[in-house]
A and B are shown apart, each in its own frame.
Chain A
Amino acid sequence: MTEATEANGLAPLPAVRPRRKRSGGPGALTGLSVLAIYALLIAAWDVFGRDVNPYFSSYPSAIVRAAGELARSGELATALLGSLGVLGQGLLYTLAAGLPVGFAIGRYQFLDRTFGPLVTILFVAPREVFVPLLVLWFGLSDASRVIFVFLSAVFPLIYNVADGVRSVNQSHAEIAQAYGANEWQTIQEVTFPSILPFIGVGAKQAIARGLTGLVAAEFFIGVSGLGGLLQKASALYRLDRAFVVILVLVAVGFILARAGDLMEARLGRWRISERAY
């Protein structure tokens, strides 16, 4: 685990399936029994859920029906694409701004001392307080939503990149300089490779925060995307539809979290191999 993960990261995503000792052994049996328990719970929900007031709850077969409805009418696809578009744009700007700013803050002590505290404050304080101001300034538009996703995601990246630059091994930089590397070469050959793991950690956090920011933005800044679809459904007490949207969000969250983990592992890989060396 890199220092940055210790300092401000979430615990790594637990493996979906713990390693089995032997295939077909007791591990497989517990896996099957877990599966059976979930199947039973879902079946019981489907049987008893029908008797519950539909304005208050729903049940699996109704949720599947609602999923079909939403998929056929195209509402789900539109919402999903809208959400992913906003998230993608926000994360793109995050990358474009977060890397250079984080680098500058980590590299130049003066900038760090001047703007570091601000970055830390914006990193730890709840960003959601700025939502009403964004609405005031940029209206109920995609621009507001993109800016909010950006605000949610950019500070973890800045924070981690700056942390990475600060912890570049000084002797590596000195060796490069001793061999006559100029500032740009040192950055290219020493600094950049050694902050890659930190970029991985930062990017993973940025993705997770960006997704939370997206949902918050879609709740508050006009009703749009998946968050909007969810709010519309629950305002009409269509809980079956609400559950569909939540399940889609679970899937999106899962894919993004895996992508983040993968990125973290890939960018952090040379560190581990160097250690073994």
Chain B
Amino acid sequence: MTPLERLRGPKRHLARWAPQTAIWTGLLVLWEIWGRGQSPFFFTYPTAIGRALLRLASSGELGQAILDSLQVLLLGYGLGVAAGVPLGLLAGRFAYLRRLLSPLMMAFYVTPRLALIPLIIIWVGIGFWAKVTVVWLVCFFAIFFNVLHGMSSLSRSYLEVAQAYGANEAQILREVTLPGILPFIATGLRLGLGLALIGMVVSEFLIGLNGLGGIIVYYSVRLRVADVFAAVTVIVVIGTALMTGARALEQRAAHWQLSARAFR
């Protein structure tokens, strides 16, 4: 038995992660020491970022920006889900619709959707809805294609059993299709969320500077690097938290399918 294995509970946890904690603390200290020697217009260091974060938070700037950003993100993403899942289901169900849409969808899928931002600015303007449109556009296709992919990998025999027992279209959708493609929907939702975050940041850079992306650009052109890093940190933390949640949901959905498979 190694000394590590003899420890129990939180103590063991602490011992396990001690080297990592030491390394990261060391790196932060090095950054702090080295960063203080650099021009503040060009570089920064952890305590300055902390101060900037406090200043942004206490002035209410940060709270407002987070609110603005989340509004764009959630609305655009919500619309992406609301369009992507049903359209994916329809295209999966009706072969003709699938063939009709596939050239167009393919073109959008392989092209960076960000390229359409200049056109969105011309068509929708530079307001709130332009940003929502960007987020929607960026996440829609990932959701759509994953649902469609799920539909195409759905086992035919489940469908036939349901039909043999006289299930109608709505019952098949509820009892066979939706549970069957749940893991694919969950994957699409996670990938879509990641893309929606990118759409949020990019649209805030290009369309009417506000939200967290706006803070980044505002302070970077004023050479206030510490404030830029503060906003970057907030976005990274929010993004990682949301993605971790999405990943957990996805694993639950996949887990459901595995256990269902074992049951049969």
Q: Which residues of A contact B (CB under 8 A)?
A: 6, 10-14, 16, 18, 30-31, 34, 37-38, 55-56, 110, 113-114, 120-121, 124-133, 135-137, 208, 211-212, 214-216, 219-220, 227, 230-231, 233-235, 237, 239, 242, 245-246, 249-250, 253-254, 256-257
Contact = CB atoms under 8 A, between A and B. Distances in A.
A132 B112 contact: no
A114 B20 contact: yes
Contact of A135 (B184, B200, B220, B254): B220
A239 B95 contact: no
Nearest to B22: A114
A210 B62 CA distance: 31
B47 interface: no
B90 interface: no
Contacts of B243: 124-125
Contacts of B112: 211-212, 214-216, 249, 253
B111 A246 contact: yes
Given A215-B114, A242-B118, 10 more contacts: A11-B188, A113-B20, A124-B244, A125-B197, A131-B205, A133-B232, A136-B220, A136-B225, A220-B205, A257-B109
Contacts of B170: none
B202 interface: yes
Contact of B149 (A11, A55, A136): A11
B109 A18 contact: no
A10, A30, A37, A220, most chain B CB atoms within 10 A: A10
A18 B220 CA distance: 49
A45 to B, nearest CB: 13
Contacts of A126: 194, 197-198, 200-202, 235, 239
Contacts of A18: 95, 98-99
Contacts of B228: 132-133, 136
A110 B19 contact: yes
Contact of A30 (B96, B114, B115): B96
Contacts of A235: 118
Contacts of B188: 11
B173 interface: no
A10 B191 CA distance: 7
B149 A34 contact: no
B183 to A, nearest CB: 8
Nearest to B198: A126
A18 B103 CA distance: 12
A11 B240 contact: no
Interface residues of B, number: 65
8 contacts: A16-B103, A121-B240, A127-B198, A128-B213, A130-B232, A135-B220, A246-B115, A250-B110
B115 A11 contact: no
A34 B205 contact: no
A130 B205 CA distance: 11
A11 B107 contact: no
Contacts of A250: 107, 110-111
A249 B111 CA distance: 6
Contacts of B53: none
A121 B111 contact: no
B121 interface: yes
B239 A249 contact: no
A136 B20 CA distance: 31
A128 B201 contact: yes
Q: Which 5 A-B pairs have the closest CB atoms?
A: A234-B118, A132-B220, A11-B149, A253-B110, A124-B243
A49 to B, nearest CB: 14
B244 to A, nearest CB: 8
Contacts of B95: 18, 30
Contacts of B201: 126, 128-129
A128 B202 contact: yes
A244 B42 CA distance: 39
A85 B99 CA distance: 35
Contacts of A132: 205, 216-217, 220-221, 228
Contacts of A253: 110-112
